[in-house]
Amino acid sequence: MSGPHALLPDLLPDLLEEISACALCAEHLPLGPRPVLRAAASARLLIVGQAPGTRVHETGIPWNDPSGDRLRRWLRMERETFYDAKRIAIIPMGFCYPGRDARGGDNPPRPDCARRWHEALAAHLPHIQLTLLIGAYAQKHYLGERVKGSLTETVRAWLEYAPRFLPLPHPSWRNTGWLKKNPWFEAELVPELRKRVEAILG
């Protein structure tokens, strides 16, 4: 293999090891740093979410919670496939559990991760064909000025971001009300999501 990406696949494990030791925002993390992400240079699908919850922090396994169960139902995907890093990279906006806010929900993802690591990781993932942008934080970061006035509008406008990106709501139980108010998502977009992912992964 020749060209600018010739040596990059060999460097990704080193980058992931460096990230695993990251403590950039340790003073802001109530449970301490524990970056949770998975990637391999051969991955063709990238899932960008928000940040680990407490269960994910404890296990070190991304989307290892009820939100992950709902996401896998949307994808119609078994855990074995979902956690195959050779095919699917999972890189949240914030790698570590950010703590809780005053209302009992999780704090926003720490911004340090995206600024320090996302571009470097993208350079080592040359085969990504589709990036799922789950939640407003991922959408704002990756879509920039193209993002709409609300998450609902952005998800409704998903065709504008094809074929590179597909914006999705977060599959948290907190969004069950949103799903009920927006039945078009599961009726129209989820089947398209499954179709596109299956086409990419085979």
The shares of helix, strand and coil residues in the chain, as percent rounded to the nearest 5, are 50, 10, 45
Percent of the chain residues past pLDDT 90, beyond the cut: 90
Residue 181 lies in a domain: yes
Residue 5 lies in a domain: no
* Predicted local distance difference test score (pLDDT) of residue 105: 77
Tens of pLDDT, residues 49-108: 999 999 999 999 999 999 999 999 999 999 999 999 999 999 999 999 999 887 777 899
Q: Distance between alpha carbon 5 and the CA centroid of its chain, in Å?
A: 23
What residues contact residue 24 under an 8 Å CB cut-off, 6+ apart?
Answer: 112, 113, 116
Count of Cβ atoms closer than 10 Å to residue 168 Cβ:
24
Average pLDDT rounded to a whole number, residues 125-132: 97
pTM of the model: 0.93
* Predicted local distance difference test score (pLDDT) of residue 10: 67
Residue 1 lies in a domain: no
Tens of pLDDT, residues 32-43: 999 999 999 999
Residue holding tokens 């991760």?
113
C-beta separation of 196 from 189 below 8 A: no
Residue 128 lies in a domain: yes
* Predicted local distance difference test score (pLDDT) of residue 2: 43
- As given in the structure block, the two tokens for residue 174 are 């907190």
Residue 6 lies in a domain: no
CATH number, domain at 146? Answer: 3.40.470.10
Residue 8 lies in a domain: no
Range of 152's domain?
Answer: 13-201
> At residue 7, does pLDDT exceed 80?
no
* Predicted local distance difference test score (pLDDT) of residue 8: 44
> At residue 14, does pLDDT exceed 70?
yes
Number of structural domains in the chain: 1
Q: Which residues pair with 35 in a beta bridge?
A: none
